[in-house]
Amino acid sequence: MTNATSNPTRPLEPQKRALVVGASSGIGAALACELARQGYIVAALARRESLLQELCQRMNTAVSPAKILPYTHNVTAYDEIPGLFQAVVRDLGGLDLIVYAAGTQPHVALDEYDFAKDRAMIEVNLLGAIAWLNQAAHRFERAGSGHIVGISSIAGDRGRVGAPVYNASKAGLNTYLEALRNRLTRRGVTVTTIKPGFVDTVLLENAPKTFWVISPEQAAAAIFQAIRRKKQTIYLPTRWALVSLIIRHIPSFIFRRMKF
């Protein structure tokens, strides 16, 4: 792509390049658009091709020259990831930022133990993140620069009765991102963990109660600021940080009796 490394509006400033995995809807789509508006060339990956093409067409019409390149991909196709990652980097002319925003949370009843649903959550929320972010970690470590962002959830801070495996998948993602941060910070690489509360996406369909709901666009704007400031961990909105602090310190014998 001829304009991947230059910005015609700011010719002396190299144009940054980002890869967003899970970009067809929700936070991923909103963040891909935000990054494009902020001057990034964006590779947008998602499973749902029609939504992805619609997003890219809309943004590439609004932002000139074209800023978002679409790639259809299912994050559970792990064997495809190394080759696809290299192809995306070649198309972009390099890589400065990767965001893993793919996620799934099917409805799980309080008396339900469905391994098929549990497996899907682990494969998408955790294994897909590891498969993609390992690729970026290896590249960024050798380059001595780069930024890795994982969209986790406040749900990963404690094991709640309502969604044991969703909680576990996000807790695993949190720990993986922390370990990457501890490994890569000394190599000049930033790793950011994003922990949203309730965001107005399809995942809210399975939430029995919601409050402090923010839009995907509000989340994307806050995430971009966290990227710009090279934050380590942020909650969305920020008041969830205090809630999480309280939740993490509730004694287990009390917490297990709570209904959320």
DSSP 127-187: IHHHHHHHHHHHHHHHHT--EEEEE--GGGGS--TT-HHHHHHHHHHHHHHHHHHHHHGGG
Q: Which residues lie below 8 Å from residue 24, measured CB to CB, with a gap of 6+?
A: 44, 46, 47, 48, 51, 52, 55
- What does the alpha-carbon distance between residue 40 and residue 17 come to, in Å, rounded to a whole number? 5
DSSP 77-125: -GGGHHHHHHHHHHHHTS-SEEEE---------TT---HHHHHHHIIII
Catalytic residue among 40, 166, 176, 235: 166
- What does the alpha-carbon distance between residue 78 and residue 75 come to, in Å, rounded to a whole number? 7
Contact between residue 41 and residue 3 where contact means Cβ atoms under 8 Å apart:
yes
166 flagged as catalytic: yes
Catalytic residues: 166
